[in-house]
Amino acid sequence: MSFKRISISDAEQLLRQPSTQLADIRDEQSYQLGHIKGACHLDNHNLQQFIEDADPDAPLIIYCYHGNSSQSAAQFFVEKDFTEVYSMDGGFEEWRQHYPHQSGEQ
């Protein structure tokens, strides 16, 4: 099994489902400057806790800056037995261009 790539418009639709999980794997400073509403910032310090707390059967969308690093991260979650994992093509930069109202600080 492997992850799926998802467009930002399909990701926006999927995020309307309350069970969808969203993970931001950019650096902490970038996350603080702006992220998709509801995103959890993941780094080496909280990754294991996220794996333990997250629902492995609920959709999980992972994003980075441009949609490249998120692909290897998505594969990592598939290997951790998450069943519905997506890497968001275009990353936060493309999201911000299309959905600026959903890209603020929390």
pLDDT in tens, 48-60: 999 999 999 999 9
| Mean pLDDT taken over the chain | 95
Please state the rounded mean pLDDT for residues 66-91.
97
Q: Do 3 and 77 form a contact (C-beta atoms < 8 A)?
A: yes
> Domain locations in the chain?
4-102
User: Strand, helix or coil at 45?
Assistant: coil
DSSP structure class, residue 64 = -
Copy the structure tokens of residue 26. 């950019």
Residue pLDDT, tens place only, 21-41: 999 999 999 999 999 999 999
Q: Which of 12, 6, 11, 36 is nearest to 24 (CA)?
A: 36
- pLDDT class of 5 with cuts at 50, 70, 90: very high
Query: Is the confidence at residue 106, as pLDDT, over 50?
Result: no
Task: Tell me which residues are annotated as active site.
Answer: 64
Query: What CATH number does the domain located at 4-102 have?
Result: 3.40.250.10
Secondary structure E strands in 15-106: 21-24, 40-41, 60-63, 85-88
